[in-house]
Amino acid sequence: MRNVTETVKQLIIINILFFVGTLALGDPAYKMLSMYFPENPNFQVWQPISHMFMHGGFMHIFFNMFALYSFGSALESIWGSKKFLFFYISCGLGAALLHTGINYYYFQDGVNILIEQGFSKTEILAVLNGKGNDQIVPLLNSPSFQNFVSAYFGTVVGASGAIYGVIVAFAFMFPNAELALMFIPVPIKAKYFVPGLVLVDLYLGVSGQSIFGGGGGIAHFAHVGGALFGFIIMWYWKKNQFNKNRWN
């Protein structure tokens, strides 16, 4: 790769290796390395890190790695390798934190409703884990409990949260750089493009929609979380002039 910095190159290689490995191993790899809801028995302590290197398909990994290649090297060349890696991992963890927090809200809301109807949390968890209570099952299959069930069973994969943090940092460092998407051929300055992108994700997360219609299976709040943590870190660094320091 031309003009790609060392840490960005290594991250791309690691992501590709994980992707090829999961294609070979299949579901067991996804079950072990994707991030589950913390109360789900499949959750493991390493998943908040490992999920950042997992991807759900060729287009998913392609767009994430293309964005990392496009924006990450410019940042690493200014910050140094260790500072860039710290920022990247921090944004990925921030994405996982916000996504999990939103899921906890949905999960606890569903639990509270079921407790008000006379079920205990132990019974609820037993049903979710396939040990069944015929009175609860029809409730969980209703549309009103969709977010509750999705929060418990859903998994998260991908570097998108970390990538959103990188894009936010790029907009901080190069606000007047002109960016464009394939379906928006007119270049837009980064200081307008990136906030607009994050706002679209926030809207889609709140509405539960996909840009292509339907739910889409996209962890929009993870994107927002990565962007938010990226913004907070950049704001703190700028306030303390740390953004001018290299960290090799």
1 located within any domain:
no
Residue 14 has pLDDT above 80, yes or no: yes
Count of structural domains within the chain: 1
pTM tops 0.95: no
* Chain position carrying tokens 């994969």: 157
- Judged by DSSP in three states, 35 sits in strand
pLDDT digits (tens, 9 = 90+) for 138-154: 777 777 788 888 899 98
245 located within any domain:
no
247 located within any domain:
no
96 located within any domain:
yes
Of the pLDDT bands very low, low, confident and very high (cuts 50, 70, 90), residue 211 is very low
Range of the domain at 127: 6-240
248 located within any domain:
no
166 located within any domain:
yes
End-to-end Cα, the chain, rounded Å: 21
* % the chain with pLDDT above 70: 88
Token pair, residue 26, equals 């299949």
Looking at residue 116, its pLDDT comes to 86
The mean pLDDT of the chain is 86
CATH number, residue 208: 1.20.1540.10
Task: Please name every residue paired with 184 in a beta bridge, in sequence order, or none if there are none.
Answer: 181
CB-CB neighbours of 76 under 10 Å: 24
183 located within any domain:
yes
Tell the burial category of 41 from Cβ atoms under 10 Å away from its Cβ (0-12, 13-18, 19+). Answer: exposed
85 located within any domain:
yes
Looking at residue 220, its pLDDT comes to 83
Of the pLDDT bands very low, low, confident and very high (cuts 50, 70, 90), residue 74 is very high
